[in-house]
Amino acid sequence: MITKTKFEWKLGAATREAFGKALVELGRTNADVVVLDADLSKSTYTAEFGKQFPDRFFECGIAEANMVAIGAGLAASGKIPFVSSFSAFVLNKGFEQLRVTAAFPNVNLKAVGTHSGISIGEDGPSQMSIEDISLACSLAGFVVMCPADEVAMMKLIEAAVEFQGPVFIRAGRAKAPVVYAPNQEFTIGKAVELTEGTDVTLIATGLLVAESLRAAEALEADRISARVIDMHTIKPLDRDAIVRAAKETGAIVVAEEHLVDGGLGVRVAQVVAETHPAVMEFIGIDNRYAESGSPDALLDKYGFRAVNVAEAARRAVKRKR
Which residues does the annotation mark as catalytic? 64
Q: Residue 110 carries which DSSP code? A: E
Buried b (16+ CB within 10 A) or exposed e, 240-263: ebbbbbbeebbbbbbbbbbbbebb
Contact status, residue 172 vs residue 207, Cβ threshold 8 Å:
yes
Q: What is the number of other CB atoms lying within 10 angstroms of the CB of residue 293? A: 16
Contact status, residue 229 vs residue 193, Cβ threshold 8 Å:
yes
Which of 94, 104, 119 is closest to 38 using CA atoms? Answer: 94
Cα–chain-centroid distance for residue 128? 14
DSSP annotation string for 245-314: HHHHHSEEEEEEEEESTTSHHHHHHHHHHHH---EEEEEEE-SS---S--HHHHHHHTT-SHHHHHHHHH
Contact status, residue 11 vs residue 177, Cβ threshold 8 Å:
yes
